[in-house]
């Protein structure tokens, strides 16, 4: 599952670089790190077990468990949904949206099928990933629109020359 996450991360970086969206690439990196820390904080705060865990043993030993042993929210799903929506918002290409949607759906199915997460953990992670992607794209679009400077000829007529 981590391979899909890493693959999408590098593919997203490549796409933003190829489409010359350097500023959006900076926002993507920044909020990808913020996304990880939000996931890390939620796992420590919520401390929900995974489906395969023995619930009685989990509650006895949960103070000794590292954060990645907790199931809610799914870090993979949250990262993949964040990446999918941020790239979809940024590039606005239906083919790329379809590719990311396919990988996201496949990842969600695999996480649930392999009993890594409950369905509510997947839904919660998807919601958090979507919210972070929306906020990051909104903030980047505000920053980009504030830095636009109008020139004198911005409202000029376009005259074509026929030779």
Mean pLDDT split into 10-residue runs, the chain, 163 residues:
64 75 84 90 77 55 56 80 88 84 84 80 90 93 71 58 48
pLDDT at 2: 55
Distance (Å, whole) CA 108 – CA 89: 20
What is the reported pTM? 0.74
Is residue 158 a part of any domain in this protein?
Answer: no
pLDDT at 67: 52
Among candidate residues 94, 121, 99, the one with its CA nearest the CA of residue 108 = 121
Is residue 136 a part of any domain in this protein?
Answer: yes
Is residue 162 a part of any domain in this protein?
Answer: no
Distance (Å, whole) CA 152 – CA 163: 27
Is residue 151 a part of any domain in this protein?
Answer: no
Is residue 119 a part of any domain in this protein?
Answer: yes
pLDDT at 128: 94
Is residue 161 a part of any domain in this protein?
Answer: no
pLDDT at 163: 47
Residue 60 neighbours by CB distance under 10 Å: 10
Distances 105 to 2, 5, 29, 67 between C-alpha atoms, Å? 15, 13, 23, 25
Structural domain including 117 reads: 2-144
Distance (Å, whole) CA 66 – CA 63: 8
Instruction: Using CB atoms within 10 Å of the CB of residue 104, give its burial: 0 to 12 exposed, 13 to 18 middle, 19+ buried.
Output: buried
pLDDT at 65: 56
pLDDT at 24: 83
């Amino acid at each position: 599952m981590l391979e899909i996450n890493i693959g999408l991360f590098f593919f997203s970086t490549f796409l933003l670089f190829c489409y010359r969206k350097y500023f959006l690439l900076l926002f993507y990196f920044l909020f990808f790190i913020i996304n990880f820390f939000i996931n890390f904080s939620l796992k420590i705060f919520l401390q929900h077990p995974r489906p395969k865990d023995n619930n009685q043993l989990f509650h006895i030993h949960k103070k000794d468990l590292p954060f990645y042993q907790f199931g809610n929210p799914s870090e993979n799903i949250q990262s993949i949904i964040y990446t999918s929506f941020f790239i979809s918002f940024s590039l606005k290409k239906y083919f790329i949206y379809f590719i990311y949607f396919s990988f996201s759906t496949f990842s969600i199915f695999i996480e649930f099928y392999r009993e890594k997460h409950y369905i509510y953990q997947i839904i919660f992670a998807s919601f958090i990933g979507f919210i972070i992607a929306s906020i990051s794209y909104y903030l980047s679009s505000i920053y980009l629109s504030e830095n636009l400077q109008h020139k004198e000829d911005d409202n000029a007529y376009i005259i074509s020359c026929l030779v």
